Structure 1
Amino acid sequence: MSGPYRLSYQFQNASNQASLRALLDRYVDVLWEPGSHKYNVTSFVGELDEILLGAEFSEFTDEMLDTLTSALRKRGNSNATINRKMAALSKLLKKAQKMGDIQSLPEFKRLKEKAGRIRFLEPEEENRLFAAISEKSELYGRFCIFLIDTGARLGEGIGLRWQDMNQDRVTFWLTKSGKSRSVPLTERAAAAIQASERRRRGPFTNIVQAKFRAAWNEAKQEVGLGAEPDVVPHILRHTCASRLVQGGIDIRRVQTWLGHQTLQMTMRYAHLASGDLDVCVPVLEHAARVKAG
């Protein structure tokens, strides 16, 4: 093999070898349900297979893992992005080992991630962006309203079915964590749903992610946000969480609302509740006066 990532792997059993692509084709439908996460996983593993030049193996070595990590870093991937890609790889390889396709695995160690600033939309930015998107598609405009007021991921919103709604709340069944969750609806989120055609399986099921993202990017450019890489559709979920925390909702409730598996994921928004600390100042000032007296 030649190229920037020269490989020289030795296999114990040359008759029982498979590439990452082959393993993905074999187990993708078993390990991941249909939706945006499955789409992302397919893209991740496809990229890793390309880095390994389609190499077939019967054991996955530390050398191979180091090759992937190094290559992803050279491509500009952050530790957080590498962790997501390696999580998908680990899940696939563990299944392959369990089924006897490969003999051994390296230890997957999570890379340390930086706690970056979370970007969210200000009300004025929301108004401008949503207006521009609505001009392109009334359906897309309503979809944005639904996402920002429920905190749903794109795949969760598109996958919503009419039977998943009960009066003033919706239940998301196809989630990233695999666990369902129900959230109540704001008036405008409920109106965004009800304006959809009932002849379809769900209010937003005819939305194609790629086309929606294309319309989003065009609108983003039009309203002067084109230079901001963090202004992607997922910012609507961040904005929902940020508004809940800023409004005084405790972090545990926000965790439940968003469907985060761990509280640590929700704690990224905790700094926005710093206004709650104002009540501490009078206590400290009183203590200082007592001491001075």
Structure 2
Amino acid sequence: MSVRQRGHKWQAEVCWQNERFRRTFDTKEAAEYYNLIALIALRAGEPIPDKTDFSSYELVWIIHKYRNIIWPENPDRPNDSMARLYGFFGPACHIQDISTKRLLEFKIHLKGLGLASGTVNRKYAVISKVLKFAHRMEWIDKMPFIDRDKEPKGLKRYLTQDEETEILQLFHRWGCHHFAEYTKFLLYTGARFSEPLHLAKNHVISYENSGLQKAVIFPKTKNGHPRTIPLTKEAEEALNYFLSKGDKYIFSSVKYNSYRHVWDRVREHMGHANDRLFTPHILRHTCASRLVQSGVDLKRVQEWMGHTTFHTTLRYAHLAPRDLEVAAAALQKFGD
């Protein structure tokens, strides 16, 4: 996907499955927009629209133009949702045309595809962010109602140790060593995918009064509060692998789209193609689950994971060891 200047014009070019699509436009911005909607259309299995102009108030254009403002912590966050949004709302959906009724129709559409409530809510979260931004910019008069689904409690999917081993082995077997190490880092820190991408060398510190040697400070997190995490041996090994590259940002060689492409190969190879919960985010769930299963109290788990509310951490409470006999014995002392 590229945009080149040809004389006084701009040429857009998209390559897809050995086919090349080219169009010429008067402005660079128009050529970039064509590349955007062409690629989204192809990924959604839709024909490329015969579109030579755009409106500053179109849904897809707003996401493209302002993603660094709407999602400052991770501008790639809406990427997974773009094909779904495009397939339903189309290439020229004006932000003012997204009504409460239209959003309900979108939910019914997603449910009809068999998507789980959590996945539907993630798509809704993208729409919600864009609508809030549009409302702040006074492009729409009021926010439509966004009816999110209630998600089942205590049903988080997490990896077994055998699954962890197989994932890492497949990454290495396919020559994606940096993805294997990044997977290990996420698994043993519980970080969200985007959080380590902002780490520089000055965010690595010595961790005193512990058998652990290092800690990292995540400067940009979902809740906006930096978080310090001590590193296990596995996390430190992964960190050192990337530090040896000498990049300004330690994990700059990791790109979400490339990682997700290989992850999906791994998922299919392991027989989890139909497991909607088998996404990279499962690494974070696995970390939290292992902490709780090991008897770490929930308040410490909340601090480690960076959960804004304790309610989020409580979703893992069913995994905690249930040594109620200890509680009974403690009360029995008062009866003796």
TM-score by length of 1: 0.79
Match of 1:186 in 2: 232
Match of 1:7 in 2: none
The 1:128–1:31 alpha-carbon spacing in structure 2 relative to 1, beyond 3 Å, is closer
SS at match of 1:39: coil
Q: 2-side partners of 1:122 and 1:274: how far apart? A: 17
Among candidates 257, 266, 270, match of residue 210 of structure 1: 257
SS at match of 2:316: helix
Residue 152 (str. 1) matches residue 185 (str. 2) = no
Higher relative strand content: 2
Unaligned runs of 5+ in 2: 1-54, 207-213
Residue 63 (str. 1) matches residue 101 (str. 2) = yes
Larger mean Cα displacement after TM superposition, 49-58 or 106-115: 49-58
Q: 2-side partners of 1:42 and 1:205: how far apart? A: 18
Q: Offset at 1:165?
A: 0.8
Q: Offset at 1:198?
A: 4.1
In structure 2, what residue type is equivalent to 1:185?
L
Match of 2:89 in 1: 52
Match of 2:40 in 1: none
Q: Offset at 1:96?
A: 1.5
Deviations 1:128-179 (A, max 9, x none): 3323323333323322221111111222233322221112110112323333
Residue 270 (str. 1) matches residue 317 (str. 2) = yes
User: Does the 8 Å contact 1:144/1:236 carry over to 2?
Assistant: yes
The 1:152–1:241 alpha-carbon spacing in structure 2 relative to 1, beyond 3 Å, is same
Q: 1-side partners of 2:119 and 2:194: how far apart? A: 19
The structure with higher relative contact order (CA 8 Å, sep 6+) is: 1
Say what the alpha-carbon RMSD is for the aligned residues.
Answer: 3.0
User: What is the aligned residue count?
Assistant: 271
Matches within 5 A, 1:22-37: 22-33=61-72, 35=74
Q: Offset at 1:120?
A: 2.0
Q: 1-side partners of 2:203 and 2:121: how far apart? A: 32
Q: 2-side partners of 1:217 and 1:84: how far apart? A: 18
Among candidates 235, 241, 252, match of residue 282 of structure 2: 235
User: Does the 8 Å contact 1:225/1:231 carry over to 2?
Assistant: no
User: Does the 8 Å contact 1:134/1:142 carry over to 2?
Assistant: no
Q: Offset at 1:180?
A: 1.9
The 1:95–1:268 alpha-carbon spacing in structure 2 relative to 1, beyond 3 Å, is same
Q: Offset at 1:256?
A: 1.2
The 1:243–1:173 alpha-carbon spacing in structure 2 relative to 1, beyond 3 Å, is same
The 1:123–1:77 alpha-carbon spacing in structure 2 relative to 1, beyond 3 Å, is closer
Larger mean Cα displacement after TM superposition, 260-269 or 119-128: 119-128
User: Does the 8 Å contact 2:121/2:148 carry over to 1?
Assistant: yes
Unaligned runs of 5+ in 1: 1-15
Q: Offset at 1:217?
A: 4.1
Matches within 5 A, 1:1-293: 18-33=57-72, 35=74, 38-44=75-81, 47-53=84-90, 54-56=92-94, 58=96, 60-115=98-153, 117-135=155-173, 136-167=175-206, 168-196=214-242, 197-220=244-267, 224-226=270-272, 229=275, 230-282=277-329
User: Does the 8 Å contact 2:95/2:131 carry over to 1?
Assistant: no
User: Does the 8 Å contact 1:245/1:254 carry over to 2?
Assistant: yes
Larger mean Cα displacement after TM superposition, 78-87 or 252-261: 78-87
Identity rate, percent: 31
TM-score by length of 2: 0.70
Q: 1-side partners of 2:272 and 2:158: how far apart? A: 15
The 1:49–1:102 alpha-carbon spacing in structure 2 relative to 1, beyond 3 Å, is farther
Q: Offset at 1:88?
A: 2.5
Q: 1-side partners of 2:114 and 2:331: how far apart? A: 47
User: Does the 8 Å contact 2:186/2:193 carry over to 1?
Assistant: yes
User: Does the 8 Å contact 1:194/1:203 carry over to 2?
Assistant: no
